[in-house]
Amino acid sequence: MQSTTLAEAVSFASPSGALSSFWLLIAIPLVSAAILLLLGRRADRWGHLLGVASVGVAFLLGLVYFFSLSGLKNKELSLNLFQFMPVGGLKVDVGLLYDPLSAIFVLLITGVGFLIHVYAVGYMSHDPGRRRFFAYFNLFVAAMLLLVLGNNYVMLYVGWEGVGVASYLLISFWYLRPSAATAGKKAFIMNRVGDAGFVIGIFLLFATLGTVQYDEVFNNVSKLSAGTVTAIGLLLLLGACGKSGQFPLQAWLPDAMEGPTPVSALIHAATMVTAGVYLIARSHPIFDASEVARTVVVAIGALTLLIGCVIGCAKDDIKRVLAYSTVSQIGYMFLAVGLGGAAYALGIIHLLAHGFFKAGLFLGAGSVMHGMNDQTDIRRFGALRKYMPITWATTGLGFLAIIGIPPLSGFFSKDPIIESAFNHEGWLGWVLGTAALLGAGLTAFYMTRLFMLTFHGPKRWTEDIKHPHESPPVMTIPLILLAVGSVAAGGLMATSVKDWLMPVFGEHHESATHIGALPATILTIVVTLAGAGLGWALFSKGTVLKEQPAGQVVTAARNNLYADTFNEAVFEMPGKYLTRALVYLDNRGVDGLVNGLAAAVGGGSGRLRRIQTGFVRSYALSILGGALLVVAAMLAVTLG
């Protein structure tokens, strides 16, 4: 690994040239966030411009560093800035790592993030807290960049927690709304569950290997016992499930829709939800060493992608449908990285494609809400194609990309994952492949339903909607650019990303064991078209506006498959009862004992005080009485 010091990092004349200053990727948006927060209202008029410019500059630098990386022999550069934590045997540096994997994530975070920032200028134009919003946005980007650029697990964890804090601030941005404040707390608390597993995994790494540096950990994984490696892998997986909204910690992700739509796009497309995928991909030597941990990863991915699809079919809120589609698509990524080998790159390719089409879909939903007085119920839309042609076209391309219609990006990223799932060894391959294939059909169905009910069919608007309109250019231009990415990114990435990531994941050659590439592709397209055709047949002419009696499956899906009910019954209510019991024990037991003892001493002293009358005759009588008692006792002893 090629490394450099802080002195070299501040000089473009260092051996690694401009690449040695890649710490600026984090510093620029972080400084911008600090300026916007510290200046307060004095930056209201231009704060949004600084926020957009900082991410734009970071993206341009990311491009420079990306092309500079190809000139390095080892295709990676490690940068140690200063010592962060010298505690006993634990010595952690503030260190960064720029390699093919982190370079891809940098471009995704800053590139898609920049477009979302530009879109947010128009979307938040009338919000009095716009400057504060962009400060949180910049803070989020800086934390995410630290997460993917850290060269050890502690730096990754610092960025990890920074993303958690920034997401809380963004989800609950409209904190005067009880639903937004609750959603922010829910996301923060559920992520703490996963983060607890993650940090225990880091502790276990240090306890067994004496280091948290990536290269040192990965070089010594073979020295660990099978049980220890499995435990570390499962603990890291728990952290990944929390950040990426995977089962059983997926319930917070749809509620995150209470934040402004640009927040939904940033969290659900290119940044926070991909952190778990990055963690597993970065820790691939650990998961490669544990078959059990990898099996759990693929099982969670397959289960979660089906959960997201089933619930997405029953939702009527446009943002929540897209939220559950994110849950499902991240499930595909978990399935891919869990398969290991060549599928690691497939998971990253789908992550990149997802960043384009999901950001476009969320921003398209925001454009619809912008023109429809912030309504989100797709049953109350319809016929918007005529009023929002740019939004219709760009959202349509994102829709075709996510369901995997060739030659859009989803076809090149999702279909190979389904093929790899089928070709996993043993009977598990058939189970995983079938789940992934069923997910493709369900995705086509619910996304067709969303698109048809929103843009086609008769008008179903409420009375307060008078003139639906297209969004301004500051919002539609990012939509167009993301739509271009949805079309072109898949084919470009499928031919180049695997080779680019080879220094990270190594070279893998896997032969098909169950099904070939062409049969898998044909089968996937047939199932996808069947799902889309069913959605078109049922919803191309609109839908009923009144609630209809629903079966048990639909009712369960509308209630998020009772995930919130389960969490409330199993975790929340017992926690409340335990807290109440402890409070009662503290009040009646601990405090009761202390207060009772104090009362006894006080009461006894009060009674004894009454004996002290201050009269000499009383004291003399007491002395006489005491003397008589002593004499009587002595006589009794003598005579006895």
pLDDT for 271-310, tens place per residue?
A: 888 899 999 999 999 999 999 999 999 999 999 999 999 9
Output helix, strand, coil percentages for the chain, rounded to the nearest 5.
Answer: 75, 5, 20
Q: Which pLDDT score, from 0 to 100, does residue 6 have?
A: 42
613 pLDDT band, cuts 50/70/90, is: confident
Write down which residue in 539, 558, 577 finishes a domain.
Answer: 558
Residue 424: the pLDDT is 86
The answer, yes or no, to whether residue 7 has pLDDT greater than 50, is no
Question: Are residues 295 and 435 part of one domain?
Answer: yes
Given a cut of 50, whether residue 534 has pLDDT beyond it is yes
Q: What is the pLDDT of residue 492?
A: 65
Same structural domain for residues 512 and 591? no
Q: What is the mean pLDDT of residues 540-564?
A: 77
pLDDT reading at 453 higher than 60: yes
Please report the pLDDT score of residue 160 as a whole number: 94
- 525/502 same-domain check: yes
Q: Are residues 581 and 522 in the same domain?
A: no
Cβ pair 342, 419 in contact under 8 A: no
Q: With bands split at pLDDT 50, 70 and 90, how would you rate the model's confidence at 176? A: confident
Tell whether the model's pLDDT for residue 270 goes beyond 80. no
Both 513 and 579 in a single domain?
no
Same domain, 597 and 517: no
Q: What percent of the chain has pLDDT above 90?
A: 46
Q: Which whole-number Å values give the CA distances from 154 to 37, 149, 235, in the listed order?
A: 26, 12, 15
Average pLDDT over residues 393-411: 91
Asked whether the predicted pLDDT for residue 8 surpasses 80, the reply is: no
Query: How many Cβ atoms from other residues are within 10 Å of residue 85's Cβ?
Result: 11
Average pLDDT over residues 445-473: 88
Identify whether residues 467 and 375 lie together within a single domain: yes
Examine residue 69 and state whether it is found in any structural domain, yes or no: no
pLDDT (0 to 100) of residue 13 = 41
pLDDT at 568 over 90: no
407 preceded by a cis bond (ω within 30 of 0)? yes
Dist CA 254 CA 243 (whole Å):
13
Residue type, 437: L
Tell me, yes or no, whether 513 lies in a domain.
Answer: yes
**Distance of alpha carbon 377 from alpha carbon 369, whole angstroms:** 10
Residue 192 lies in a domain: no
pLDDT of res. 18: 64
Residue 628 maps to a domain:
yes
Query: What pLDDT is recorded for position 17?
Result: 58
Domain housing 487: 290-558
Q: Which of 509, 540, 558 is the last residue of a domain?
A: 558
For residue 293, the model assigns a pLDDT of 93
Terminal Cα-to-Cα distance of the chain (whole angstroms):
100
Q: How confident is the model at residue 12 (pLDDT cuts 50, 70, 90)?
A: very low
Most confident of 64-73, 115-124, 488-497, 506-515: 115-124
Domain boundary among 558, 581, 607: 558
pLDDT at 268: 78
Please give the radius of gyration of the chain, using alpha carbons only, rounded to the nearest integer: 31
Q: Specify the pLDDT at position 491.
A: 63
- In the chain, how many domains are there? 2
- How many angstroms separate the CA atoms of 156 and 95, rounded? 10
- Is a pLDDT exceeding 80 seen at residue 547? no
Q: What pLDDT score does 592 carry?
A: 84
The reply to whether 352 and 440 lie within a common domain is yes
The answer to whether position 550 is within a domain reads yes
577 in the same domain as 523: no
Q: Is the pLDDT of residue 145 over 80?
A: yes
**pLDDT band per the 50, 70, 90 thresholds, residue 548:** low
Q: What is the pLDDT of residues 485-500, one digit of tens each?
A: 888 776 666 668 888 8
Non-local CB neighbours of 605 within 8 Å, separated by 6+ positions: none
Short-list 204, 343, 220, 224, CA closest to 277: 343
- Residue 489, CB half-sphere, CA atoms under 13 Å: how many? 30
Mean pLDDT of 529-544: 89
Residue 11 pLDDT: 43
The mean pLDDT value for 122-146 works out to: 92
Mean of pLDDT values over 367-374: 88
Instruction: Please indicate, yes or no, if residue 446 is contained in any of the structural domains.
Output: yes
Which amino acid appears at position 73 of this protein? K
Q: Residue 601 pLDDT more than 90?
A: no
Residue 216 lies in a domain: no
Span 54-78, average pLDDT: 87
Mean of pLDDT over the chain: 87
- Inside any domain, residue 326: yes
CA quadruple 419, 420, 423, 428: dihedral positive or negative?
negative
Looking at the fold, whether 541 and 611 belong to one and the same domain comes out as no
Question: Cα separation of 213 and 154, whole Å?
Answer: 8
Q: What local confidence, expressed as pLDDT, does residue 510 receive?
A: 61
Contacts of 301 (CB under 8 A, 6+ apart): 246, 331, 332, 333, 334, 335, 336, 338
Same domain (yes/no): 577, 551: no
Are 483 and 547 part of one and the same domain? yes
